[in-house]
Amino acid sequence: MNKLFCNTPALGIIGGMGPMASAYFQELLVRFTDAATDQQHIPSILLNLPQIPDRTAFILGESSDDPAPALLAAARTLEALGAGAIAVTCVTSHCFYDQVAPQLSIPWLHAVRETAAYLKRKGVKKAGILATTGTVKTGLFQRELEKAGIGWSVPSPERQQDVMAVIYGDIKAGRPPDMARFHRAETALREAGCDACILGCTELSLIKREHPLPGCADVLEVLAAAAVRARGKTVKGFE
User: What is the CATH number for 185?
Assistant: 3.40.50.1860
Tell which residue, 34, 33, 65, has the closest CA to residue 51: 65
Asked if residue 119 is part of any domain, the answer here is: yes
Asked if residue 32 is part of any domain, the answer here is: yes
Whether residue 90 lies in the annotated active site:
yes
Asked whether the predicted pLDDT for residue 176 surpasses 90, the reply is yes
pTM of the model: 0.94
Under 8 Å between Cβ of 52 and 70: yes
In this structure, the answer to whether residues 167 and 85 fall within a common structural domain is: no
In this structure, the answer to whether residues 84 and 180 fall within a common structural domain is: no
**Which pLDDT belongs to residue 1?**
44
Asked if residue 75 is part of any domain, the answer here is: yes
Asked if residue 90 is part of any domain, the answer here is: yes
- State the catalytic residue, choosing from 194, 197, 201, 216: 201
Asked if residue 176 is part of any domain, the answer here is: yes
Who's near 8: CB < 8 A, 6+ residues apart? 2, 42, 43, 84, 231, 232
DSSP, collapsed to helix, strand or coil, labels residue 231 as coil
Whole-number average pLDDT of the chain: 95
Q: pLDDT (tens digit, 9 = 90+) per residue, 75-123?
A: 999 999 999 999 999 999 999 999 999 999 999 999 999 999 999 999 9
Beta strands 10-15; 126-130: pairing state = unpaired
In this structure, the answer to whether residues 97 and 128 fall within a common structural domain is: no
Q: pLDDT (tens digit, 9 = 90+) per residue, 146-159?
A: 999 999 999 999 99
In this structure, the answer to whether residues 80 and 144 fall within a common structural domain is: no
**Which pLDDT belongs to residue 8?**
75
Structural domain including 35 reads 2-110+222-230
The total number of structural domains that make up the chain: 2
**Which pLDDT belongs to residue 5?**
59
In this structure, the answer to whether residues 94 and 22 fall within a common structural domain is: yes
**Which pLDDT belongs to residue 232?**
92
In this structure, the answer to whether residues 99 and 139 fall within a common structural domain is: no
In this structure, the answer to whether residues 84 and 132 fall within a common structural domain is: no
Instruction: Give the separation between CA 195 and CA 105, rounded to whole angstroms.
Output: 38
In this structure, the answer to whether residues 189 and 124 fall within a common structural domain is: yes
In this structure, the answer to whether residues 134 and 207 fall within a common structural domain is: yes
In this structure, the answer to whether residues 106 and 122 fall within a common structural domain is: no
Asked whether the predicted pLDDT for residue 3 surpasses 70, the reply is no
**Which pLDDT belongs to residue 156?**
98
Look up residue 104 and give its DSSP letter: -
Q: Which residues of 118-128 are buried (b: 16+ CB within 10 A; e: fewer)?
A: bbeeeebebbb
**Which pLDDT belongs to residue 159?**
98
In this structure, the answer to whether residues 12 and 106 fall within a common structural domain is: yes
Which residues are bridge partners to 45 per DSSP? 12
Instruction: Give the separation between CA 138 and CA 143, rounded to whole angstroms.
Output: 9
In this structure, the answer to whether residues 87 and 137 fall within a common structural domain is: no
Asked if residue 237 is part of any domain, the answer here is: no
- State the catalytic residue, choosing from 6, 90, 194, 197: 90
Q: pLDDT (tens digit, 9 = 90+) per residue, 43-75?
A: 999 999 999 999 999 999 999 999 999 999 999
Q: pLDDT (tens digit, 9 = 90+) per residue, 207-228?
A: 999 998 999 999 999 999 999 9
Whether residue 201 lies in the annotated active site:
yes
Asked if residue 157 is part of any domain, the answer here is: yes
Asked if residue 71 is part of any domain, the answer here is: yes
